[in-house]
Amino acid sequence: MATAFRTSASTRDRMIAEARALFAARGFYGVSIAQIAAELGLTKQALLHHFGTKERLYGLVLEQIAEELADLKGALEPGVDPARRLQDWVVAMISDTPPRIERSRLLMREILDNPVRAESAGSWYLKPFLDELVMMLRSVPGWSEASDAQLRATVVQLLGAVNYHAVSGPTFRGIFGAEAAQAMNGIFAAQLQHMLRAVLTAGPGA
């Protein structure tokens, strides 16, 4: 009972990957399961066969992203200086690969839509990840006595700065032109680390 379904797992993965791309591009309400299926050369019933409902498919996409975030933080060696770890994490979050951009877009959309969509379960995918960031920040010298609210506000700020870049890329390409956007891209990683360093060394605010 543990054999077979070689290609089937692959098809399932292709479905989730395509759903991830389309949900990231157009949002949950902006894509129909028929459109996702059409992109794969299938009918929507093939999708419904595997996932039952559109919500469940979307949930699996979020689950995949949550796993990626967990892997991403696990890849950071835990021994070193915590400020350095935060910096490494930022670097790891910034690669401009398509899956990474989709991830940022989906997270942003999830944050926007979650209070509205019925099954709010999706948001809990984010919580452990946020808690981990807060813990990381607390172990930075000078931040150990900051309040939870302060730490969380700083983490949210940092997340905003990191994700906004990936999300706004295409729009700013439209506004400023392709080469200007690419120049911004090249600078952004250094700029972001610069900001991170400034914030961390300044310590928590009033």
Which residues bind to a copy of itself, rule: CB under 8 A? 25-30, 105, 108-116, 120, 123-124, 126-127, 130, 147-150, 152-154, 156-165, 167-168, 170-176, 180, 183-184, 186-188, 190-195, 197-199, 201-202, 204-206
60 in Cβ contact with 13 (< 8 Å): no
- Give me the sign of the Cα torsion angle 61, 63, 69, 72: negative
Q: Which one of the spans 46-54, 67-75, 124-132, 137-145 is the region binding DNA (CB under 7 A)?
A: 46-54
The one among 17, 26, 44, 189 contacting DNA by CB under 7 A: 44
In the complex with a copy of itself, the residue whose CB is nearer, 46 or 92, is 92
Q: How far is the CB of 47 from a copy of itself (least distance, A)?
A: 19
Structure tokens at 38: 């059409």
Kindly state whether residue 52 participates in binding DNA, applying the rule CB under 7 A: yes
From CA 46, how far away is CA 15, in angstroms rounded?
A: 9
Instruction: Give CA–CA dist 3/88, Å, rounded.
Output: 40
Rounded to whole angstroms, the Cα distance separating 167 from 105 reads 5
Residues that bind DNA (CB under 7 A): 3-5, 8, 11, 31-35, 37, 41-46, 48-50, 52-55
